[in-house]
């Protein structure tokens, strides 16, 4: 079964990660990068930046009030119990390496500024997911993020044009900036000048 890629705003959303091992910490870092309000419940310490730590064993009552829960303990049975409780409460849940206990799966992510790409093999083969990410990292990078930010202003100036005309101009702008024969500033100034005439 293929999973639908659903991009949603995570800023200030309440996320609970149960567990503090390497995988749990990786999930926390991802959510923090998207400005979520992340809490970790674990008997073990957690040194992740930007995370609220509650150092104790998790209880099912701890799940109330969270929008998203990640069950990332090394106890499969506990992860399963967390998943069942979350489903009853209508909370989106991911149980690490237990696909049947997930209402969503974690894609492999490339994230630069407002540019985000997500890769998934439907939970079948993480090696293929990492391969796709590695291949895409050759062109999804900080440079593309920078171009995205700089061209956003031009797009705003073109919103009164027909969609196809706007798309053609934006494609031309992108091609020129990637080509790099002129500086970004020169290209943008020229496009701004053309639009103001």
pLDDT digits (tens, 9 = 90+) for 134-180: 999 999 999 999 999 988 888 888 888 899 988 998 999 999 999 88
Confidence of residue 36 (pLDDT cuts 50, 70, 90): very high
Element (H, E) at 53: strand 51-54
Longest dimension (CA), the chain: 67
pLDDT digits (tens, 9 = 90+) for 48-99: 999 999 999 999 999 999 999 999 999 999 999 999 999 999 999 999 999 9
- CA distances, 123 to each of 14, 27, 84, 95, 108 (Å): 25, 16, 20, 12, 11
Average pLDDT over residues 14-35: 96
The percentage of residues in the chain with a pLDDT greater than 70, rounded to a whole number, is 97
Write the CATH number of the domain with boundaries 14-106. Answer: 3.40.50.720
Residue 196 has pLDDT above 70, yes or no: no
3-state secondary structure of 157: helix
Q: What's the confidence (pLDDT) of residue 195? A: 57
Q: Identify the burial level of 21 via C-beta atoms within 10 angstroms of its C-beta, where 0-12 means exposed, 13-18 middle and 19 or more buried.
A: middle
Residue 193 has pLDDT above 80, yes or no: no
Residue 42 has pLDDT above 70, yes or no: yes
Confidence of residue 182 (pLDDT cuts 50, 70, 90): confident
């Amino acid at each position: 079964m293929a999973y639908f890629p659903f991009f949603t705003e995570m800023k200030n959303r309440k996320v609970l990660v149960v567990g503090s091992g390497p995988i749990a910490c990786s999930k926390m870092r991802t959510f923090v990068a998207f400005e979520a309000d992340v809490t970790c419940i674990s008997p073990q310490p957690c040194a992740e930046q930007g995370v609220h730590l509650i150092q104790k064993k998790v209880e099912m009552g701890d799940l109330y009030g969270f929008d998203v829960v990640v069950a990332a303990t090394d106890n499969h049975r506990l992860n399963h119990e967390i998943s069942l409780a979350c489903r009853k409460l209508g909370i989106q849940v991911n149980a690490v390496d237990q696909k049947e206990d997930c209402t969503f799966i974690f894609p492999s992510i490339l994230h630069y500024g407002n540019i985000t790409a997500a890769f998934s093999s439907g939970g079948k083969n993480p090696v293929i997911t990492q391969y796709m990410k590695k291949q895409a990292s050759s062109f999804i990078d900080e440079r593309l993020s920078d171009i995205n930010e700089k061209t956003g202003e031009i797009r705003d100036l073109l919103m009164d044009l027909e969609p196809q005309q706007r798309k053609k101009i934006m494609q031309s702008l992108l091609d020129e900036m990637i080509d790099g024969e002129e500086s970004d500033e020169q290209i943008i100034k020229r496009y701004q000048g053309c639009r103001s005439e």
